[in-house]
């Protein structure tokens, strides 16, 4: 299975992740996707975080991972992204083990960790374009500026990130959601450091992504609402 390229509003098989060209007006997932987790187990050192974990997520669905601090929420998200190998179990995409799919799976996933993963000495614009490039997306300056402005960063696009507030830095990181064509968003504490207006904007972006039949798995300690979609939950406590 190859990644899909958006061309004229439709998808066609792309020869490589690098061939994907971002166009925010054309992103619309027309395929039914499925993530399936079976009997997953994960440890930190000698401590077993969770075991026997199984669930499935389909297009247009959202799931919140819940649990106390140290219960393994972040470890689960990082395992789903391939950053951590599970002790046991299987993660499948469209019925195929993600270890066999490799980049054909990872190209469909956007991971946003609780750390912003941005360079302080670079501007918001530079950070966004570089992160898009590392994901194989050719993002031009005008689209990058439009994404940052929607995130409430108008007038700050070319400022070094080090002069921005914590909330504004988080908005820079979250702007990746606007320039990604990934089907599955995996978000670790996306609302951290955000004010009420920014939280409402993230809820709006989630609504739009799910309406396009995207998928979302997230953790948060703050209330988060999505319209018209049942919020599924998985507790690791």
pTM: 0.86
Tokens, residue 203: 């809820």
Q: What is the DSSP letter of 21?
A: B
Question: Could you give the 3-state DSSP secondary structure of residue 177?
Answer: helix
CA–CA gap between residue 174 and residue 62 (Å, rounded): 18
| First and final C-alpha spacing in the chain | 36
Dihedral sign for Cα 68, 74, 80, 85, please.
Answer: negative
Which stretch of 3-12, 32-41, 94-103 has the lowest confidence by average pLDDT? 3-12
Helix, strand, coil % (nearest 5) of the chain?
Answer: 30, 30, 40
Tokens, residue 170: 């988080």
pLDDT in tens, 106-117: 999 999 999 999
pLDDT in tens, 131-140: 999 999 999 9
pLDDT in tens, 41-50: 999 999 999 9
Tell me which H or E stretch contains 203: helix 196-211
């Amino acid at each position: 299975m190859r990644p899909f390229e958006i061309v004229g509003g439709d998808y066609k098989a792309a020869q490589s992740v690098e061939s994907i060209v971002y166009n925010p007006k054309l992103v619309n997932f027309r395929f039914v996707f499925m993530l399936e987790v079976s009997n997953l187990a994960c440890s930190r050192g000698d401590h077993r975080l969770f075991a026997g974990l199984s669930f499935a997520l389909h297009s247009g669905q959202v799931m919140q991972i819940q649990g106390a601090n140290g219960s393994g929420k972040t470890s689960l998200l990082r395992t789903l992204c391939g950053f951590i190998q599970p002790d046991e179990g299987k993660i499948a995409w469209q019925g195929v083990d993600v270890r066999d799919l490799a980049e054909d799976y990872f190209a469909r996933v956007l991971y946003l960790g609780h750390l912003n993963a941005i360079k302080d000495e670079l501007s918001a614009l530079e950070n966004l374009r570089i992160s898009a490039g590392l994901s194989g997306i050719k993002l031009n300056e005008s689209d990058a500026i439009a994404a940052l402005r929607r995130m409430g960063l108008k007038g700050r696009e070319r400022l070094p990130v080090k002069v921005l507030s914590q909330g504004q830095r988080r908005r820079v990181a979250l702007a990746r959601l606007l320039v990604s064509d990934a089907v599955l968003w995996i978000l670790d504490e996306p609302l951290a450091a955000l004010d009420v207006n920014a939280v409402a904007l993230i809820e709006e972006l989630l609504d739009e992504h799910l309406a396009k039949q995207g998928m979302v798995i997230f953790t948060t300690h703050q209330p988060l609402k999505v319209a018209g979609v049942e919020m599924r939950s998985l507790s690791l406590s």
